[in-house]
A and B are shown apart, each in its own frame.
Chain A
């Protein structure tokens, strides 16, 4: 019988130079502290020898653009490529030094997709979509020079309205838990992004965060109280800059009712950095 052996969530622009430019030396210090905790989370994940690592993250209009924006998409196939971007700027630049190709856990991805469709989740699939910093910055920070387990990348549409609901994302996480339980594999799962940043996706509000909202979310995760999180609306998440918490909702569905331990939380003007791990 399969099992989820690791669950974690973390911010996904893990680049000291980026935060130095955006927030000065305090930005560098805080993201380095967050990255150190994420690396330790990665060590604990590796120690449990997962057969696969599910990564729930969002696209930043890199992979899907405007030809199609899936609510939830499972990456299938044997390998996934790092996103290519000439003269990368800002958060795209994080990818520059990272490996270009990553093996996938094809069988687990196919089960999540196929069983999902059989059980009422109208999932999108992709053989070709590349992954951006939302996937690769956490994965590489977690693993350093250690081998990275075969990945199962899953995109949630966090930014292009209308997005899936928090409740639906949680339900999809429950589906993942059932698929893993019925499989022969040990599986790690991470969700990436956040916490509060870029409220209303408005350029004049870049630099604002909603720490009160973050602390409310963290409290519920620490207590294992997931019911209130199901009631979060897309409008609330938009106003508070918690768009990417939809990724975390998938993870919560996969690990509920486990409680969370906060490994790092640091306020910055640009974003509140976080690293959280669940007791499994």
Chain B
């Protein structure tokens, strides 16, 4: 199964517009409290959704986060 933290974060980015805005403005600060590995954190900060998917992020989430979606 995919890692919970990665997908929980993806879900929050999709469904919580305020959190998404904070992430877009300052991703490192937005992720400060998240329980991520260094590789996961780096992938999110780089907005590398291909890497996030490779690390266990569900495809339908990485393809549908407003403004951040991979296509």
Contacts and interface: CB of A to CB of B under 8 A. Distances in A.
B11 A203 contact: no
Nearest to A92: B64
A89 B13 CA distance: 13
Contacts of B58: 61, 159-160, 201
B70 A203 contact: yes
Interface residues of A, number: 24
Given A65-B11, A202-B53, A89 B62 contact: no
B48 to A, nearest CB: 10
Interface string A206-219: 10000000000000
Nearest to B11: A65
Q: Is the interface of B mostly helix, strand, loop or mixed?
A: helix
A162 B1 CA distance: 8
A203 B59 contact: yes
A66 B7 contact: yes
Contacts of B1: 160-162
A198 B61 CA distance: 13
A94 to B, nearest CB: 11
B66 A87 contact: yes
B29 interface: no
Q: Which of B8, B69, B71 has the most CB of A within 10 A?
A: B71
A60 interface: yes
Q: Top 5 closest A-B pairs, CB basis? A: A87-B66, A201-B59, A203-B53, A60-B60, A89-B69
